[in-house]
A and B are shown apart, each in its own frame.
Chain A
Amino acid sequence: MKQTKRFFMIPYFIWIGLFVVAPLLLILYQSLTNNQHQFTFQNYVTYGTSSTYLHMSLNSLWYAFLITVITLLISYPAAYFLSKLKHQQLWLLLIILPTWINLLLKAYAFIGLLSRTGSVNSFLTFVGIGPQQLLFSDGSFLLVATYIEIPFMILPIYNAIVELNPALINASRDLGATNWQTFRRVIFPLTISGVKAGVQAVFIPSLSLFMLTRLIGGNRVITLGTAIEEHFMTTMNWGMGSTIGVVLIVMMFIIMALTNDRRKKRRELNDDEEN
């Protein structure tokens, strides 16, 4: 029995080894070599002493933080009201639907909406405000990034809220708690695992967004993802690109450590996406 169990684990281990462990080790190896394939820490020294890279890291963290906060502010109430609705499955489907559409297509759709001749500006002209510069601004970048990440925040929070035993809320009311107190002392603490899962699912991908920075941000928003792309595609300095990759991976581990205990929730998120 144990033998067969091990046997079935083999494909899994091969998968993990080839597609998770090996790439990570390769990135680490690359980051420790220069263009002449010599072993060196130079890339890390460059990263640590360059104001450009530090500024870029700050940018990445700051934008990822903003995107996460905005999505959370929208998603928590949305998920809460969703759990009170009648046709929940239908509404959920509508929220999940956009995630099936390719990211690039969505970005191009937003270019159409936000450009000078786009529908938003036509509307603004119609109401008398006049055309505004919407594309290539921080605001439009945050808007599109938030739009793309929202489903990944709503789903785990929704799952956590649905799991909440309504008896607890009733008990809280019976004991004389106001609505606010019930939310603060009962509902929120019991759904914090969903929030953590959502934060993780949004913050980490937001750190390395790079196509959006060009298409929507017009390269006026530069993040670490942009730098990686540049080092691999134009400079051909794979060592430096990998070094930034390692920095991103470290940042991700830190985020994961801070938002621990989301493992269980993540599985539920995946289950929901399959339904």
Chain B
Amino acid sequence: MKKMSVLIAAILAFCGLLFLGSQQLSRQSGVTSAANTLSLYNWGDYIDPALIKKFEQETGYHVQYETFDSNEAMFTKIKQGGTAYDLTIPSDYMIEKMKKTHLLLPIDHRQLTNYHYLDQHFLNQSFDRGNRYSVPYFWGTLGIIYNDKFVKADEMQHWSDLWQPKWRNQLMLVDSARDIMGMALVEQGQSMNTTNSQTLIAAQQQLNQLSGNVKAIVADEIKTYMIQEEAPLAVTWSGEASEMLAQNSHLHYVVPSEGSNAWYDNMVIPKTAKHKKAAYAFINFMLDPHNAAQNAEYVGYATPNKQALAYLPAKVRQDRQFYPPLSTIKHLQVYQDLGARKVEEYNDLFLKFKMYRQ
């Protein structure tokens, strides 16, 4: 019993010490909420830290940087209130959702000095017509990753190549209903946003044909598996792909020319913003071609900034994997918010496909 009390006392004392220590440390780092701060809420490792320093030096604003790891987490935190983020970077469908739930402030285009550097192709998308609420930050695609040790480049150029019986039990898919159903739809020459139940069922049946080739349907683990060469083929997003390619030189990324999904991460000003001036200063700073190029080089995603391309090394700029030719870009489709009922139909069919075993 006595031993027990000593143990409890020791644990409490230790907790107290840790608490005091962390308090002390956070005081030293000088977290303030003065008028000249910018509270930035971004994905983890999604900006070159050197750019934050540069921004602080150029503008005098102090950047308070917080990160999130999913659109949904970010949405919940902003919706609940109690936060004062001035700028955040959600993906396309989430921008549409935040717009519908009135969590965004309209963008005053007169305050954007560098907006004209953006490529027209990446503006005025279906999730935000006229870019009234958002400004593009990065964009990317859905595509196929293959390992050149096992797959030749000319064997893997189109979605239909995945259906070849040769790849039995070789393919990994991302666990995402919209993306995988979308892949089957494109393979059949349909729109990724179709709401026609017949078309969807046909796409699901087409997926069932693929079942024998599918080794696993997983999420983030795809990265590790592909780098470790657990599988020679995977379907995933270009963002994930660029990380994999950086770690295994045998991996290559293909965006099939017949079409695929294009996704966007755009800068938005949430309702909670306290320092709008700082937010506009930051948007302008990031739209500056030099900065956009530096950021794209650091993060490895594709920049929507036309002028920035000129400042990127030719090797990056001409990389067709991440900057596909215009003929492919024209065939890319952005997901639209189809409403709860259709989303469920997509999910149910995808679940059926997951259940199907050949």
Q: Which residues between 332 and 358 of chain B lie within 8 Å of chain A, taking CB atoms?
A: 340, 343-344, 347-348, 351-352, 354-355, 357
Do B344 and A218 touch across chains, with their CB atoms under 8 A apart? no
B170 nearest CB neighbor, chain A only: A133
How many chain A residues touch the partner (CB < 8 A)? 25
> A52-70: which have CB < 8 Å to B?
52, 55-56, 59
Given A220-B216, A235-B343, A235-B344, CB of A56 within 8 Å of CB of B230: no
B177 touches A115 (CB 8 A): no
The reply to whether A214 and B219 form a contact with Cβ atoms under 8 Å apart is yes
Interface residue from A116, A136, A218, A227 paired with B351 (Cβ < 8 Å)? A227
A52 touches B352 (CB 8 A): yes
A223 and B143 alpha carbons, distance in the complex (Å): 29
CB distance from A182 to the nearest CB of B (A): 43
Give the residue of A52, A133, A135, A220 whose beta carbon is less than 8 angstroms from that of B357: A220
Residues of B within 8 A of A115 (CB): 225, 228, 230
Q: Which of B225, B228, B230, B357 is the most central at the interface, judged by chain A CB atoms within 10 Å of its CB?
A: B230
Contact partner of A215 among B221, B230, B351, CB < 8 A? B221
Give the contacting residue for A117; candidates B217, B228, B354, B357; CB below 8 A.
Answer: B228
Q: Mark A52-92, 1 if CB is under 8 A from B, else 0.
A: 10011001000000000000000000000000000000000
CB <8 Å contact, B340 and A222: no
CB atoms of B354 and A222 under 8 A apart:
yes
Chain A residues contacting B175 (CB-CB under 8 Å) are 214, 219
Residue from A52, A214, A218, A222 in contact with B215 in the complex, judged by beta carbons closer than 8 Å: A218
Is A234 part of the binding interface, using a Cβ–Cβ cutoff of 8 Å? yes
Evaluate whether A116 and B228 lie within 8 angstroms (CB atoms) in the complex, with A214-B219, A218-B217 already known.
Answer: yes
Are A52 and B351 in contact (CB-based, < 8 A)?
yes
Known: A115-B225, A230-B351, A234-B177. A35 touches B340 (CB 8 A): yes
Q: Provided the pairs A55-B355, A56-B355, A219-B218 are in contact, do residues A116 and B348 lie with their beta carbons within 8 angstroms?
A: no
Contacts of B348 in A (CB 8 A): 52, 235
**Distance (whole angstroms) from the CB of B218 to the closest CB of chain A:** 6
Q: Mark A197-221, 1 if CB is under 8 A from B, else 0.
A: 0000000000000000011001110
For the complex, give the distance between the alpha carbons of A135 and B218 in Å: 12
Residues of B within 8 A of A234 (CB): 177, 347
Q: How far is the CA of A27 from the CA of B343 in the complex (A)?
A: 23
Complex: chain A residue closest to B175, CB-CB: A219
Among A135, A222, A234, max chain B CB count under 10 A is at A234
Q: Return chain A residues, CB-CB under 8 Å to B131.
A: none
Contact between A52 and B355, CB atoms less than 8 A apart:
yes
- Give the Cβ gap from A136 to chain B, nearest Cβ, in Å: 4
What chain B residues lie within 8 Å of A59 (beta carbons)?
355
Complex CA distance for A149 and B44, rounded to whole angstroms = 36
> How long is the Cα–Cα vector from A187 to B263 in the complex, in angstroms?
65
Minimum CB distance partner of B176 in chain A: A234
Q: Within the assembled complex, what's the spacing in Å between the Cα atoms of A115 and B230?
A: 7
Q: Given the complex, which residues of A lie within 8 Å of B230, measured CB to CB? A: 115-117, 135
A172 located at the interface, meaning its Cβ lies under 8 Å from any Cβ of chain B in the complex:
no
- B219, closest chain A residue (CB): A214
A contacts, CB < 8 Å to B: 35, 52, 55-56, 59, 111, 115-117, 133, 135-136, 214-215, 218-220, 222, 226-227, 230, 234-237
20 contacts between A and B (CB under 8 A): A52-B352, A55-B355, A56-B355, A111-B221, A117-B229, A117-B230, A214-B175, A214-B217, A218-B216, A218-B217, A219-B216, A219-B218, A219-B354, A227-B351, A230-B347, A234-B177, A235-B344, A235-B347, A237-B340, A237-B344
Sample of 10 further A-B pairs with CB below 8 A, known A116-B229, A226-B354? A35-B340, A133-B169, A135-B230, A136-B215, A136-B216, A220-B214, A220-B217, A227-B351, A235-B348, A236-B343
